[in-house]
């Protein structure tokens, strides 16, 4: 339907063998915190603090640590090359990345701060493939490879193309690898906007517990995040470790007895978070190649939700936008991305790519009138540009020009039948205009092409409820919210509640 944001990824790979066979020099960690992305509305608050705290902890645990902040693509490649050069047979390699991540073509990519992403091919050009990193570490002889990834944030690139799913995808990793994402597969989490992420808070709490095997450390982290978020954020773990490793080996280096009481936990990090009853243990982690099912996750059971403490009431959604809404044009003109595109257009007023891309940026920032003007110019140059037709359809839908939007979407689908983005956009047009049966049909068609298209899943749920199928609609809505907790707020901003 639109041009959405995806959120993004920290990565950490670190473990210490449970036996004293590896010296401190055999453990290497690369820690990256990327916070200042020019296309984002503001720098991320968490990655730099998280990276610094993780680096400090790993140094205490005997790792040789390289920490980097706000790396460009060239900087990230140099940092990884430096890490690869240190690896010796049997080494432990840990990578921690915090920032934006994105999945495309069934791979997860870490994004540098200067990524210029407009099409799916740009992801592969500018992003750093997690699978490639783990494969190279394995080729260099690393015996233990660990990646802890906190990049399931909604990022500013998602609205530009949507032929991928939200969040991250399973990793096809070599043997001897332990991977943890801060959120479930293909899902994103709300950015708390605090000084530290919940994921890293819980990770550092558990990593400091001696004698725990690495898998147990991460499983305890998963339980802690799930409990603290009241089930809204559930990390994902995949392990193919063949040996026991511990971040902090004990004197005997042995796994603690099942009867041994757990160490006392520090006070909860989240304020005003009464201690809920312990949740059921998470499902055992599976290797990456066994968890890539494309079907949406099941809806949570009502009785479980009823037992949970009431969630914090979200902020009142903003009113539906109009042609006159959005940021001040003078402020937008100083945006680095817009400034660069405007310079290209000034040099060549018929630069169709620059016009289309600037329209996308305007739309993503809520400057809908300026976005439509750029899409108008794009279509003046090439009336058969289906991407511009779809984006103008979505923008017109958001501001309430439903007749014009329907015309654009119909033309896009005439030129490219089964164009999933246009089906998704037209579903929103029909939903807002009250044609709920047509909306269901469009969302059904989009979901047959991409079963994890959250906007179509949520839109179909709303349409089914309005069409009298309340239970089916509630299931779609619950599944969509499980994949993207921000989806309700997003649709409210379109005037759909």
Q: Which of 400, 396, 345 is nearest to 368 (CA)?
A: 396
Paired tokens of 212: 């725990």
CATH number of 329-493: 1.25.40.10
**Residues lower than pLDDT 70 in the chain:** 1-25, 156, 158-166, 190-193, 249-326
Q: Which residues pair with 27 in a beta bridge?
A: 92
Q: What is the pLDDT of residue 362?
A: 87
What's the confidence (pLDDT) of residue 295? 44
State which CATH number among 3.20.20.70, 3.40.50.1460, 3.50.40.10, 3.40.50.880 fits the domain covering 6-250+281-287. Answer: 3.40.50.1460
Residues of the chain with CATH 3.40.50.1460: 6-250+281-287
Number of C-beta neighbours around residue 435 at 10 A: 18
143 contacts 178 by C-beta, under 8 angstroms: no
Residues of the chain with CATH 1.25.40.10: 329-493
């Amino acid at each position: 339907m639109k041009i959405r944001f995806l959120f993004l990824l920290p990565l950490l790979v670190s473990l210490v063998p449970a036996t004293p066979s590896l010296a401190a020099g055999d453990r290497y960690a690369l820690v990256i915190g990327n916070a200042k992305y020019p296309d984002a509305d503001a720098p991320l608050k968490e990655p730099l603090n998280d990276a610094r705290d993780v680096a400090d902890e790993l140094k205490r645990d005997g790792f040789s640590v390289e920490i980097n902040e706000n790396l460009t693509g060239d900087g990230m490649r140099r940092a990884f090359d430096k890490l690869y050069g240190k690896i010796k047979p049997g080494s432990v390699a840990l990578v921690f990345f915090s920032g934006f991540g994105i999945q495309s073509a069934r791979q997860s990519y870490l994004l540098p701060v200067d990524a210029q992403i407009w099409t799916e091919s740009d992801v592969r050009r500018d992003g750093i493939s997690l699978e490639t990193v783990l494969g190279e570490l394995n080729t260099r002889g690393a015996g233990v490879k660990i990646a802890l990834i906190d990049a399931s944030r909604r990022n500013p690139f998602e609205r530009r193309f949507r032929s991928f799913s939200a969040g991250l995808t399973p990793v096809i990793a070599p043997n001897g690898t332990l991977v943890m994402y801060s959120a479930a597969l293909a899902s994103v989490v709300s950015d708390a906007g605090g000084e530290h992420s919940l994921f890293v808070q819980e990770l550092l709490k558990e990593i400091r517990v001696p004698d725990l095997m690495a898998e147990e450390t991460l499983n305890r982290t998963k339980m802690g995040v799930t409990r603290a978020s009241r089930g809204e954020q559930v990390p994902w773990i995949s392990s193919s470790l063949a040996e026991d490793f511990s971040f902090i080996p004990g004197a005997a280096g042995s796994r603690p007895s099942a009867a041994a009481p757990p160490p006392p936990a520090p006070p909860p990090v989240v304020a005003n978070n009464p201690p809920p009853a312990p949740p059921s243990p998470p499902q055992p982690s599976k290797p990456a190649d066994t968890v890539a099912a494309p079907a949406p996750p099941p809806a949570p059971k009502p009785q479980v939700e009823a037992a949970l403490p009431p969630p914090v009431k979200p902020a009142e959604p903003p009113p539906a936008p109009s042609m006159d809404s959005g940021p001040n044009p003078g402020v937008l003109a100083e945006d680095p991305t817009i400034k660069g595109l405007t310079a290209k257009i000034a040099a060549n007023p018929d630069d169709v790519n620059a016009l289309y891309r600037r329209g996308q940026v305007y739309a993503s920032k809520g400057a809908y009138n300026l976005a439509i003007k750029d899409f108008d110019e794009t279509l003046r140059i090439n009336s058969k540009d289906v991407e511009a037709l779809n984006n103008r359809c979505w923008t017109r839908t958001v501001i309430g020009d439903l007749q014009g939007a329907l015309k654009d979407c119909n033309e896009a689908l005439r030129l490219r039948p089964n164009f999933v983005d246009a089906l998704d956009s037209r579903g929103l047009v029909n939903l807002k205009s009250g044609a709920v049966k047509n909306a269901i049909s469009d969302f059904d068609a989009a979901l047959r092409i991409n079963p994890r298209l959250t906007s179509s899943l949520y839109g179909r749920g709303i349409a089914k409820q309005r069409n009298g199928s309340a239970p089916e609609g509630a299931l779609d809505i619950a599944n969509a919210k499980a994949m993207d907790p921000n989806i309700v707020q997003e649709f409210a901003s379109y005037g759909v509640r």
